[in-house]
A = this chain, B = another copy of it.
Amino acid sequence: MSDRTTVQDAELALLLEVTGTPKPGNVDRERDFADLRFEHFMAGAVGARPGLELAADGTRLGRAFERAVAGMADQSAGNTQFGALLLLAPLVAAASEGDLTPAGADRVGRATTVADAADFYRAFEHVDVAVDDPPEGMEPLDARRGSEAVPTLEARGLTLFDIMTQSADVDGIAAEWTGEFRRTFSAAESILADDGPVPDRASRVFVELLADEIDTFVVTRNGHDTAAAVQRRARAVLDGEADATELAEELVARDVNPGTTADIVAGALFVALERGLVV
């Protein structure tokens, strides 16, 4: 068993995630976007670390997340791992409490407060993150408003878990928060049951996840039809009817980026490392 700490495992998970290749549509060891490159993810992972330390130390979860995002954004490409950090924050907190289980992570999420929700909104001030337009009546809570949304949060008494609940049907990370992190823990078990180099396992589980459910980040940026097509293509890769590398080249060329699926792989790698995955 490794001597790495929980925070080291979280940081390594972010690094291993971006290393796995092919991960169709994402920056990986073999592919960059023009202004979003591999090295930005490395700087993002290193920069996020102080925030992850706060999550492990029992600091308020929203504050830990906001600090992780601020550190992540300390490179020239903007958003690299916002969603992955939103997933890792409760997982790291649960692990540091000795309860890295679906129930343990769920408990951490449900314990969040209005202050955590305010921190979450402040995190959007550090980077541009692609988000959907809010549903009717929720305009004051558009994430792009940043801290301007805080008075509304306070007036309505909304916790970070409440915010996740409201977003769960349009955001795959929020759905993890409100669904006991089902896909994350399941993917971790797939990684552990697989064999071969860890980045290859990350690539395989990425394609499985992409085939399994629609990527909400693609829905947000490219629309539902594109996201559904990406899911079908991933299924064809799984069925041996399409090539993962070709799909990767095509999605990068079309700027179609299944980032939510990559975020879940990062969370799954963290859980797998904590459960003894050997690098």
> In the complex, what's the smallest C-beta–C-beta distance from A18 to chain B, in angstroms?
9
Contact of A49 among B8, B75, B76 (CB under 8 A): B8
Kindly report which residue of chain B lies nearest to residue A75, judged by CB atoms: B279
Q: Which residues of A in the span 1-52 have a Cβ within 8 Å of any Cβ on B?
A: 2-4, 8, 11-12, 15-16, 19, 29-30, 37-40, 42-43, 46-47, 49
Enumerate chain B residues within 8 angstroms of A3, measured Cβ to Cβ.
Answer: 47, 71, 74
Q: A198 at the A/B interface (Cβ < 8 Å)?
A: yes
Enumerate chain B residues within 8 angstroms of A75, measured Cβ to Cβ.
Answer: 2, 278-279
Q: A83 at the A/B interface (Cβ < 8 Å)?
A: no
> In the complex, what's the smallest C-beta–C-beta distance from A168 to chain B, in angstroms?
32
Q: A258 at the A/B interface (Cβ < 8 Å)?
A: no
Cβ contact within 8 Å between B39 and A197? yes
Q: A199 at the A/B interface (Cβ < 8 Å)?
A: yes
Cβ contact within 8 Å between A42 and B16? yes
Copies of this polypeptide in the complex: 2
* A130 and B150 alpha carbons, distance in the complex (Å): 58
* A146 and B158 alpha carbons, distance in the complex (Å): 59
* A279 and B74 alpha carbons, distance in the complex (Å): 9
Cβ contact within 8 Å between B279 and A12? no
Enumerate chain B residues within 8 angstroms of A2, measured Cβ to Cβ.
Answer: 74-75
> In the complex, what's the smallest C-beta–C-beta distance from A266 to chain B, in angstroms?
13
> In the complex, what's the smallest C-beta–C-beta distance from A171 to chain B, in angstroms?
28
Cβ contact within 8 Å between A199 and B39? yes
Kindly report which residue of chain B lies nearest to residue A40, judged by CB atoms: B279
* A278 and B4 alpha carbons, distance in the complex (Å): 29
Kindly report which residue of chain B lies nearest to residue A8, judged by CB atoms: B46
Enumerate chain B residues within 8 angstroms of A12, measured Cβ to Cβ.
Answer: 42-43, 46
Q: Which residues of A in the span 56-102 have a Cβ within 8 Å of any Cβ on B?
A: 71, 74-76
Cβ contact within 8 Å between B76 and A39? no
6 example contacts (A-B, Cβ-Cβ < 8 A) are as follows A2-B74, A8-B46, A12-B43, A37-B197, A40-B279, A75-B279
Interface residues of A (CB under 8 A from B): 2-4, 8, 11-12, 15-16, 19, 29-30, 37-40, 42-43, 46-47, 49, 71, 74-76, 197-199, 278-279
| Additional A-B contacts beyond A12-B42, A37-B197 (15; CB < 8 A) | A2-B74, A3-B47, A4-B47, A8-B46, A8-B47, A8-B49, A15-B42, A15-B46, A16-B39, A19-B38, A39-B199, A40-B279, A75-B278, A76-B278, A76-B279
